[in-house]
Structure 1
């Protein structure tokens, strides 16, 4: 019974890691088309190390680019039954995306609760914190697609 339960949970976990990650990335990509997301992205990026991007793109254009990239990355991750190679590159792109996002946790001035500092995260910081786990799922997808 213990062995059966172990195999069952491993199968469920493996399925959810890959397909849940792809689904979440696609969903977040569709959310990027909303103007409220562009305002949030502008606030987050303008205080961080990649603020130079805003010299070349409006927050709305940047969000649309990110939206299409996220949808593509999510679809690539979901393609493992068809192409391990495409899924591998989707996982690599997701890892890079989450590393970039996590870097804002340490460089943006809007991730900490004003007046408190570490460990009090603002709403922006709390939003980024989930990317630690999503990065882990993306890294697993890369290794699983090799």
Structure 2
């Protein structure tokens, strides 16, 4: 009985890792079309190593590019039953995207609560912290799609 429950829980976990990640990427990509998201992106990027991008793109254009990319990556991850290779590349792109996001924890001051610093995360920092788990899901998707 214990072995049966273990197998079932693993199957549910595997299903939710892939399809949950795809859904989250599509949903968050869609939300990036909101103006408030562009302001968060501007706040985050202007304090980090990618601030040079803002010389060429407005925060709204950048946010739309990221939104389309994120939604395409999410869709490609969901395609594993049909296109294994596409799912592999989607997982790889998601992993790279999350690594960029996680790097802001080390390079941007806006992730820490003003006046407190480490370990007090701001709202932006809390948003980025979840990307550690999403990176793990993306890495698993890459390995599973090989």
TM bin, normalised by shorter chain, reads over 0.9
Matches within 5 A, 1:18-97: 18-97=18-97
Equivalent-residue separation in structure 2 for 1:122 and 1:24 (angstroms): 21
* SS state at 1:132 partner: helix
Who is 1:103 aligned against?
103
Runs of 4+ in 1 over 4 A off after TM superposition: none
Matches within 5 A, 1:3-22: 3-22=3-22
Equivalent-residue separation in structure 1 for 2:117 and 2:39 (angstroms): 23
Equivalent-residue separation in structure 2 for 1:79 and 1:31 (angstroms): 22
The Cα offsets for residues 103-129 of structure 1, whole Å up to 9 and x where unpaired, read as 111111101111111101111101100
Structure 1 unaligned segments of length 5 or more: list them: none
Structure 2 unaligned segments of length 5 or more: list them: none
Structure 1 residue 144 corresponds to structure 2 residue 144: yes
TM normalised by structure 2 equals: 0.99
Q: Give how far 1:63 is off.
A: 0.4
Equivalent-residue separation in structure 2 for 1:14 and 1:113 (angstroms): 35
Equivalent-residue separation in structure 2 for 1:109 and 1:50 (angstroms): 13
Q: How many residues align?
A: 146
The Cα offsets for residues 34-86 of structure 1, whole Å up to 9 and x where unpaired, read as 01100110001100111110001000000000000000000000000001100
Quote the RMSD (CA, aligned, Å): 0.5
Equivalent-residue separation in structure 1 for 2:26 and 2:101 (angstroms): 16
TM normalised by structure 1 equals: 0.99
